[in-house]
């Protein structure tokens, strides 16, 4: 892809945050750490700035973006916040929960954000660097994960630069992200039902405990980004491996020791944090194929297994 920019790397200190805010205010693109993965931020109210997100990532126009806000009051300016949304925000914001809600007709949002849907996805991130930028700018930010479309999500500034160097104005380096997996996405429907659109750090049980059990969706595709093959490390991936076969780079877990290991002690939160870094290493390794040890399908393990199934999906 063409290099259009000289990408600056700044630290997540006062000067770096101020630089990020200036670039964003002027309509530029800045990769910013969140507690989940790095996001590629642009002013949500600027059609031109948001258009550049799609261009830099090579993201298809049908895939809508998450709008990041400081708090529930800022969310109220763009989405219809009902009692359920308020309860979820009270419990899980700031944090790794994205809510898909009805969009307010007067929301100041670039049209590409919703990709033609009547809804909008909103989240209030917890990472201090992202919060400082939202506060300094005083505006909502559209931000998908800061990686080229259909590549592994970034959990460090180096991962961002691996696919976006020369395609964005700056990256704020805040070190490795804490959760390591993208936010949970829940759709709250006007008829009172809800459904889980993407597994993540906030589990189905966490949501059930606030809302009562999930009602099945009507089968419509509601998170367009979930359709495409994502998280692709660019090599075939074999799951539930006990050892490496010839030509495989093994990602271990617990008693399965690999070339790299998600968590030697078998801690699934540590595994979530390390997952994308391990996939980045696997992509760069000389072996042509990747094998991954089994991960328990509980808690955030469900989200890890969701991402691994996508990474292993054939095609593309």
142 contacts ligand TXA (rule: CB under 6 A): no
To ligand TXA, the closest distance from the beta carbon of 45 in angstroms equals 16
Binding partner selected for residue 20 from ligand TXA, Mg ion, none, CB under the kind-specific 5 to 8 Å limit: none
Q: Which of residues 10, 141, 143, 303 is near ligand TXA by CB under 6 A?
A: 143
Question: What are the phi and psi torsion angles at 92 (to 5°)?
Answer: -115, -5
Q: Which of residues 63, 112, 151, 261 is near ligand TXA by CB under 6 A?
A: 63
Q: How many helices (H) and strands (E) does the chain have?
A: 9, 14
Task: Please tell me the distance from the alpha carbon of residue 14 to that of residue 34, in angstroms, as a whole number.
Answer: 17
**x/- letters, 100..139, toward Mg ion (CB under 5 A):** ----------------------------------------
Q: Which of residues 223, 239, 260, 313 is near ligand TXA by CB under 6 A?
A: 223
Direct distance between the N- and C-terminal alpha carbons of the chain, in angstroms, rounded to an integer: 18
145 contacts Mg ion (rule: CB under 5 A): yes
Task: Please tell me the distance from the alpha carbon of residue 12 to that of residue 18, in angstroms, as a whole number.
Answer: 9
DSSP string covering 286-309, please? S-SEEEE----SSTTHHHHHHHHH
155 contacts ligand TXA (rule: CB under 6 A): no
Task: Please tell me the distance from the alpha carbon of residue 172 to that of residue 146, in angstroms, as a whole number.
Answer: 11
Binding partner selected for residue 224 from Mg ion, ligand TXA, none, CB under the kind-specific 5 to 8 Å limit: ligand TXA
Pairing of β 237-238 and β 289-292: parallel
Q: Which of residues 46, 112, 124, 145 is near ligand TXA by CB under 6 A?
A: 145
Cα Rg of the chain (Å, integer): 19
Angle between helices 157-164 and 268-284 (to 10 degrees): 40
Q: Which of residues 22, 47, 222, 306 is near ligand TXA by CB under 6 A?
A: 222
DSSP string covering 159-216, please? HHHHHHTTTSSEEEE--S-SS-SPPEEEEE-TTS-EEEEE--SS-HHHHHHHH-SPPP
| 81/185 with CB nearer ligand TXA | 185
Pairing of β 170-173 and β 141-142: unpaired
To Mg ion, the closest distance from the beta carbon of 64 in angstroms equals 12
Q: Are 235 and 197 in contact (CB under 8 A)?
A: no
80 contacts ligand TXA (rule: CB under 6 A): no
Q: Which single residue brings its beta carbon nearest to ligand TXA?
A: 225
Q: Which of residues 117, 210, 239, 285 is near ligand TXA by CB under 6 A?
A: 117
195 contacts ligand TXA (rule: CB under 6 A): no
Binding site for ligand TXA (CB under 6 A): 34, 36-37, 39, 63-66, 96, 98, 100, 114, 117, 119-121, 123, 125, 143-145, 182-183, 185, 197, 222-226
Binding site for Mg ion (CB under 5 A): 145
């Amino acid at each position: 892809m063409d290099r259009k920019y000289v990408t600056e790397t700044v630290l997540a200190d006062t000067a770096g945050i101020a630089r990020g805010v200036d670039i964003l205010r002027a309509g530029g693109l800045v990769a910013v750490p969140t507690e989940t993965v790095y996001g590629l931020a642009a002013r949500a109210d600027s059609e031109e700035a948001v258009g550049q997100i799609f261009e830099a990532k090579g993201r298809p126009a049908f895939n809508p973006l998450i709008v990041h806000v400081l708090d529930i009051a800022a969310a109220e300016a763009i989405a219809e916040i009902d009692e359920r949304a308020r309860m979820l925000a009270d419990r899980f914001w700031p944090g790794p929960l994205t809510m898909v809600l009805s969009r307010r007709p007067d929301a100041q949002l670039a049209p590409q954000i919703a990709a033609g849907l009547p809804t909008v996805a909103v989240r209030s991130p917890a990472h201090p660097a992202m919060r400082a930028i939202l506060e300094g700018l005083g505006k909502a930010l559209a931000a998908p994960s800061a990686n080229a479309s259909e590549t592994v999500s970034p959990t460090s500034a180096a991962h961002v630069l691996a696919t976006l160097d020369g395609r964005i104005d700056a990256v704020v380096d805040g070190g490795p992200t804490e959760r390591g997996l993208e936010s949970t996405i829940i759709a709250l429907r006007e008829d009172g039902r809800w459904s889980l659109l993407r597994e993540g750090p906030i589990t189905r049980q966490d949501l059930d405990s606030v809302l009562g059990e999930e009602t099945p969706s009507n089968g419509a595709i509601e998170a367009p980004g979930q359709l495409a093959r994502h998280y692709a490390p660019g090599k075939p991936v074999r799951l539930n491996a006990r050892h490496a076969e010839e030509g495989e780079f093994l990602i271990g877990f617990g008693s399965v020791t690999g070339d790299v290991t998600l968590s030697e002690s078998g801690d699934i939160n540590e595994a979530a944090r390390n997952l994308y870094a391990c996939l980045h290493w696997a992509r760069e390794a000389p072996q042509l194929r990747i094998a991954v040890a089994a991960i328990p399908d509980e808690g955030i393990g469900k989200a890890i297994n969701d991402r691994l199934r996508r990474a292993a999906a054939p095609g593309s």
